[in-house]
Structure 1
Amino acid sequence: MTTETTRSAADEHEFVDAVEAWAEKELRPVARKYDLADEYPHEIVEQMKELGLFGATIGEAYGGLGLSAWTYAQIVIKVASVWMAPSGIFNSHLIMAAAIERNGTDAQKAAYLPRMASGEYRGSIGLTEPNAGSDLQAIRTVARRDGEHYVVNGSKTWITNSMHGHGTLLLVKTDPQAEPRHKGMSLLIADKGPGFNVVGKLKKMGYRAIDTCELTFEDYRVPVGQLLGGVEGKGFVQTAGGLELGRINVGARGAGIAEGAFKHALRYAQERDAFGKPIWQHQAIQLKLADMATQVEGAKLLLQQAATKYDRGERCDLEAAMAKLAGSEAGAECAQQAMRIFGGYSYSVEYEIERYYRDAMLMCIGEGTNEILRQVIAKQLVDRHRI
């Protein structure tokens, strides 16, 4: 191992520790307030800018931190273990940035990545539509070429960062008649402007405070130079590459929820007495704590495996799917078991554990439902081990 590599690893570890300290000092005291009020945390966003989180995985050449995917996943775990919602603000943004850095033209990279790294420009991912979630090839938003512009009509939904952000990486059909369907799909770097309408913030069970909105596009014009990579028909493939990092992130968010819920439960089990002794001494509680701890650590190891392959530039769709599945299921299971350990108090908003429970299920749905991911995993296993 070279001195440079050692120093870089030490720097990244130090940054993870700094984010953990920030989350404990700044996020934990205000999480309940913002969550219950469903209020966008502007002050927290400014602090995340100062920390450099909006440039976490963007290359240093563009002003970002250039962190590895595994370091980034650890940061997400630390943030989500305290309050999951803020991690979504920089996650969607960084998936857009990664797509531009991987697939964009030199002009697109120069125009967007430095501003994205600083947080001056905050982006989102415009994929999901009312009738197209996991089946992205079924999208209906169309971009028609008109001289030096594309004219976009259609709608998107569940788009995080769309109210307070500055633009979205928009998946459209540039050739609705193409067969197979994915060959007619393209990505546009879509800045807010006339015809780009943010309909309103969606009311959600959990993941509150974050601006998840519905968008409509009515004769919205995008310069041809905003076509990602400059070639039509590449959008589906470009999106698939971004989903790997997205699934690592969502898996990390799930693992963070799991870890946070477990820590709350472990502490409470030592503080709460029942039948003359701390409840952790009852076998039923011991079994829950043991299972929770094992799920947390198992999810982290799968995340590390997927992120390491991503960092090496290797194909990791199988590993990312497994990491997302394990992390999100760990989050949902640990949050539920923590609720059971807290008993009746778990239903009170005076205890934070109910927020973990409300937030956890989103991780099982977002970035590909776990049912779809199980199919992805099974197909990849057969492809890699054919007899």
Structure 2
Amino acid sequence: MSVDQETFQLLQSSIERFVIERLIPAEDLVEERDEVPEDIISDIKDLGLYGLSIPEEYGGIGVSMSQEIELIYTISHTSFAFRSLFGTNVGIGSQGILMDGTTEQKEYWLPKFASGELTASFALTEPDAGSDAAAIRTSARADGDDYVVNGTKRFITNATRAGAFTLMARTSGEGARGISAFIVPADSAGLIVGKPDKKMGQRGTKTADVIFENVRVSKENIIGLTPGRGFYTAMKVLDRGRLHIAAQACGMADRLLSEGIRYSKERFAFGKPIADFQLIQAMIADSYTELAAGLSMLRAAGRKYEALDNGERNLDVSNMAAAAKLFCTEMVGRVADRVVQIFGGAGYISEYKVERFYRDVRLLRLYEGTSQIQQIVIAKNLTTMDHPNDYYVFG
């Protein structure tokens, strides 16, 4: 699945203009109001961004993984609130249905997600089960033609905007094999969305608890109509989502580096621009080098992901996705720290946007698997995979 190169270049150019002309000028308004203006939401829908990764047959654009990486990189040069609006429709909210859903489920739900008519949300994390996703306790008990769901999900992105949730709930036993994936309409009786969380950064993005109190969900809403495969679906979805987040990290790292370079040429000390001082130059050079490394890793992982057959999970690809997410999100944190240092005292003042971006990027090392979980995934996979040559891990 991909878009032809000419169409893709036109789309990328349109998004770049949109970022420069519409989104960057609106950053301060979003920060002040903690909301994205409705006219911008409408424009994002008109651009087709809600359906970037959804195939054309379901009303989307149908970009490849590599193309998605480039577009998310572009749009992440501005406030993360804009990407967050449609990010769950592009990634974790819709991909489980696209990968493992029935034809009927795809035909019903995906066009609604692609158009932005509905916002999809991914309900996995719980108060006592985040990194240990196999330990979830939200239950789904079979009752006639339905399941009755009880439990609480936490930190659910776009919960307050959602029209439907991709829900992971326990239908049997313990561990990963007892988890099933459901599509749950947001207006289901007994489904309660809590107050939006007050976060350190990323104003304009919305997360909240989602509480299920005897919510009845039809058996027809199990993704793929197969109970017990939800954990496997979730892990496949997260592999793709981790590449998406890594692209987000690289986009903001590039924006931060640009801000740091510009300021270093404008700010004078001891009679000359601070860009002339070698210790400032070292921070700029280190940031550029790390960003270049992150982009190279990310793009290589995207190409490898595309070689998978119909999104089937592969440990080598999972490793590369985890490594890209780990490196790129840690990298943008280091870049943000250096750029604040380049700005000096001004970097600690809210008048300058680098203070805001410094707070915003901190979350990237936590969601869709913390950095420590990425390390565990990589090490576990490497020690269980068979390597054709004991002297090489790559190659």
Same fold (TM > 0.5): yes
Cα RMSD, aligned residues only: 1.4
Give the Cα–Cα distance (whole angstroms) in 2 for the partners of residues 40 and 231 of structure 1: 38
Pair 1:222 & 2:217 matched:
yes
- By percentage of residues, which structure has more helix? 1
**Aligned position for 1:71:** 67
Pair 1:261 & 2:262 matched:
no
Q: Which of 281, 285, 306 lines up with 1:286 in the alignment?
A: 281
Give the Cα–Cα distance (whole angstroms) in 1 for the partners of residues 252 and 89 of structure 2: 21
**Aligned position for 1:52:** 48
Give the Cα–Cα distance (whole angstroms) in 2 for the partners of residues 310 and 88 of structure 1: 23
User: TM-score normalized by structure 2?
Assistant: 0.93
User: TM-score normalized by structure 1?
Assistant: 0.95
- What aligned pairs does 1:65-214 form with structure 2 within 5 A after superposition? 65-94=61-90, 95-175=92-172, 177-178=173-174, 181-192=175-186, 193-214=188-209
Deviation at 1:330, TM superposition (A): 1.5
Deviation at 1:40, TM superposition (A): 4.2
**Aligned position for 1:33:** 29
Task: State the AA in 2 paired with 1:191.
Answer: P
The 3 A distance-change label for structure 1 pair 156 and 40 is farther
**Aligned position for 1:62:** 58
Listed one character per residue, the Cα deviations across residues 62-84 of structure 1 (whole Å, up to 9, x for unaligned) are 11101011111111111111222
Give the Cα–Cα distance (whole angstroms) in 2 for the partners of residues 14 and 341 of structure 1: 36
SS at match of 1:22: helix
Identical columns (%): 36
- What aligned pairs does 1:225-236 form with structure 2 within 5 A after superposition? 225-236=220-231
SS at match of 1:214: strand
Pair 1:8 & 2:4 matched:
yes
SS at match of 1:121: coil
Give the Cα–Cα distance (whole angstroms) in 2 for the partners of residues 228 and 154 of structure 1: 19
Number of corresponding residues: 379
Task: State the AA in 2 paired with 1:111.
Answer: Y
Pair 1:321 & 2:322 matched:
yes
SS at match of 1:232: coil
Give the Cα–Cα distance (whole angstroms) in 2 for the partners of residues 56 and 355 of structure 1: 28
**Aligned position for 1:276:** 271
Task: State the AA in 2 paired with 1:285.
Answer: I
Deviation at 1:42, TM superposition (A): 3.0
**Aligned position for 2:348:** 347
The 3 A distance-change label for structure 1 pair 43 and 212 is farther
Note if contact 2:36-2:81 (Cα within 8 Å) is conserved in structure 1. Answer: no
My pick for the range that moved more, 314-323 or 351-360, is 314-323
**Aligned position for 1:297:** 292
Task: State the AA in 1 paired with 2:345.
Answer: G
Task: State the AA in 2 paired with 1:154.
Answer: G
Deviation at 1:164, TM superposition (A): 1.4
Give the Cα–Cα distance (whole angstroms) in 1 for the partners of residues 339 and 7 of structure 2: 34
My pick for the range that moved more, 344-353 or 274-283, is 344-353
The 3 A distance-change label for structure 1 pair 234 and 28 is same
Pair 1:362 & 2:363 matched:
yes
Note if contact 2:36-2:82 (Cα within 8 Å) is conserved in structure 1. Answer: no
Give the Cα–Cα distance (whole angstroms) in 1 for the partners of residues 239 and 108 of structure 2: 25
Note if contact 2:79-2:202 (Cα within 8 Å) is conserved in structure 1. Answer: no
Listed one character per residue, the Cα deviations across residues 287-320 of structure 1 (whole Å, up to 9, x for unaligned) are 0000111111111111111111222216310110
Note if contact 1:91-1:246 (Cα within 8 Å) is conserved in structure 2. Answer: no
Note if contact 1:49-1:119 (Cα within 8 Å) is conserved in structure 2. Answer: yes
- Gap regions ≥5 residues in structure 2: 391-395
SS at match of 2:194: strand
My pick for the range that moved more, 128-137 or 84-93, is 84-93
SS at match of 1:366: coil
Task: State the AA in 1 paired with 2:321.
Answer: A
Note if contact 2:51-2:89 (Cα within 8 Å) is conserved in structure 1. Answer: no
Listed one character per residue, the Cα deviations across residues 24-78 of structure 1 (whole Å, up to 9, x for unaligned) are 1111111122123322443322111011011001011111101011111111111
The 3 A distance-change label for structure 1 pair 279 and 165 is same
SS at match of 1:159: strand
The 3 A distance-change label for structure 1 pair 296 and 365 is same
**Aligned position for 2:393:** none
- Gap regions ≥5 residues in structure 1: none
Note if contact 2:118-2:162 (Cα within 8 Å) is conserved in structure 1. Answer: yes
